[in-house]
């Protein structure tokens, strides 16, 4: 199945993972996307890539202009996209370009919308927010399938604010942000570092929460005997006053830069806990998402720390593991009371969770491609069981 995949950032590791899933499931994707990096990759996850130009974090005007220009010129990809059986857009800006390409290139393929975050702009009551929601609704009316990474996105946004399932009929598919592991068997979880003080927390992935940085640096500076912090990933520098200076001024806190997927076992094996708390869009997207790090840390043996009253905490509670705090102010007391034996019990709870809760395999890839192609039933996140869980976060 040939699939045209439009994305917001060709350099995003999560985009690479999705492309690998598509290929492993039997699709032949062609990837067209913007980029946040200086150079454009020639291929993504083994699939050919087309550069739509550079865009920038926190510059919505520039991104809107780039999206409009790409959409207006989408007819030039007719030869490349001929024969595509599915056209998929990852994020709203990519969906707009995808639909323009589908129309201008005369493609009969169904349109799929993949949404991994609900930007705060989509939730406001101002004219700009209402206009953005109207654009999204118009595009979704032309789409066959909506793919989300958390059921809370449906319960809190797509159902009540966009009418999905009522005034806006569209199929829905839940695809969680699990690491992809292909091949025979899965290696055992590695042991984490020896339990005991100072307890070490790893903060991996998209580093974008100023409040989390404040919490972790303050506690590590005040209690170097109790806590160390290791940060790995890509900081969103626009979200911090001075990320590098704050880290440099905090004893026990280190930022060690970006990483590749093959580094994850080593990085998580070097910490006791994984920080899975996010306040960037508090009460909105941050309360609804299911971040990559809960799957990665669960797969590789680091115990996640999350808030109990958000979707991440509920996901952990349903599976019976992890540290779930009602307030981050409880962290110091929790670590103060924690013994090596207590940590062993936390790790045993994690080890009891089946690996399938944390990773996607070849079967998941085939199911995804079949659902995109309309060859099999989409996993309906509005089924009675899932809806009852999702409504808990409303």
Q: What is the mean pLDDT of the chain?
A: 91
Angle, helices 362-373/13-24, rounded to nearest 10 degrees: 80
Distance CA 147, CA 86 (A): 13
pLDDT, residue 391, reads: 29
Pairing of strands 303-307, 273-275: parallel
Domains and CATH numbers, the chain: 2-182+361-393 (3.40.50.2000), 199-357 (3.40.50.2000)
Stretch 322-341: mean pLDDT: 97
Stretch 157-171: mean pLDDT: 94
pLDDT band with cut points at 50, 70 and 90 for residue 381: very low
Please report, for residues 352, 358, 366, the alpha-carbon distance to residue 266 in angstroms, rounded to integers and kept in the order given: 21, 17, 29
Q: 59 Cβ partners below 8 Å, 6+ apart? A: none
Does the structure show a pLDDT above 70 at 382? no
Does the structure show a pLDDT above 90 at 190? no
pLDDT, tens digit (0-9, with 9 covering 90-100), for 203-251? 999 899 999 999 999 999 999 999 999 999 989 998 999 999 999 999 9
Write out 157-190 in H/E/C secondary structure.
Answer: HHCCCCCECCCECCEEEECCCCCECCCCCCCCCC
Of residues 221, 337, 203, 334, the one with CA closest to residue 271: 203
Stretch 355-361: mean pLDDT: 93
pLDDT, tens digit (0-9, with 9 covering 90-100), for 62-117? 888 888 888 888 889 999 999 999 999 999 999 999 999 999 999 999 999 999 99
């Amino acid at each position: 199945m040939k699939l045209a995949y439009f994305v917001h950032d060709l350099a995003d590791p999560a985009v690479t993972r999705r492309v690998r899933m598509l290929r492993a499931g039997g699709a032949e994707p062609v990837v067209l996307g913007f980029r946040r990096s200086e150079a454009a990759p020639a291929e993504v996850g083994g699939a050919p890539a087309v550069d739509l130009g550079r865009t920038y974090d926190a510059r919505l005007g520039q991104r809107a202009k780039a999206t409009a220009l790409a959409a207006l010129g989408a007819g030039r990809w007719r030869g490349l996209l001929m024969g595509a059986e599915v056209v998929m857009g990852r994020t709203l800006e990519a969906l707009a370009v995808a639909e323009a390409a589908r129309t201008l290139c005369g493609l009969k393929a169904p349109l799929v919308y993949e949404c991994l975050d609900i930007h705060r702009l989509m939730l406001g009551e101002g004219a700009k927010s209402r206009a953005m929601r109207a654009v999204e609704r118009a595009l979704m009316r032309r789409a066959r399938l909506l793919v989300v990474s958390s059921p809370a996105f449906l319960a809190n946004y797509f159902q009540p604010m966009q009418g999905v399932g009522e005034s806006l009929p569209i199929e829905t598919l839940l695809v969680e942000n699990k690491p992809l592991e292909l091949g025979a068997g899965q290696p055992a979880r590695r042991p984490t570092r020896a339990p005991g003080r100072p307890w070490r927390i790893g903060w991996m992935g998209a580093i974008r929460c100023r409040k989390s940085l404040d919490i972790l640096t303050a506690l590590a500076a005040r209690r170097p005997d109790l806590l160390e912090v290791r940060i790995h990933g890509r900081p969103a520098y626009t979200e911090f006053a001075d990320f590098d200076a704050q880290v440099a001024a905090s004893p026990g806190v280190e930022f060690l830069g970006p990483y590749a997927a093959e580094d994850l076992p080593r990085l998580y094996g070097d910490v006791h806990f994984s920080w899975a708390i996010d306040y960037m869009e508090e009460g909105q997207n941050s309360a609804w998402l299911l971040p990559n790090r809960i799957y990665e840390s669960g797969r590789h043996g680091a115990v996640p720390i999350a808030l109990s009253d958000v979707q991440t905490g509920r996901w952990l509670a349903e599976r019976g593991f992890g540290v779930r705090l009602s307030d981050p102010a409880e962290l110091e007391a929790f670590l103060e009371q924690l013994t090596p034996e207590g940590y062993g019990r936390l790790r045993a709870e994690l080890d009891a969770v089946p690996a399938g809760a944390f990773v996607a395999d070849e079967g998941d890839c085939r199911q995804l491609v079949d659902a995109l192609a309309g060859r099999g039933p989409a996993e309906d996140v509005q089924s009675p069981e899932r809806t009852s869980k999702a409504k808990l976060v409303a």
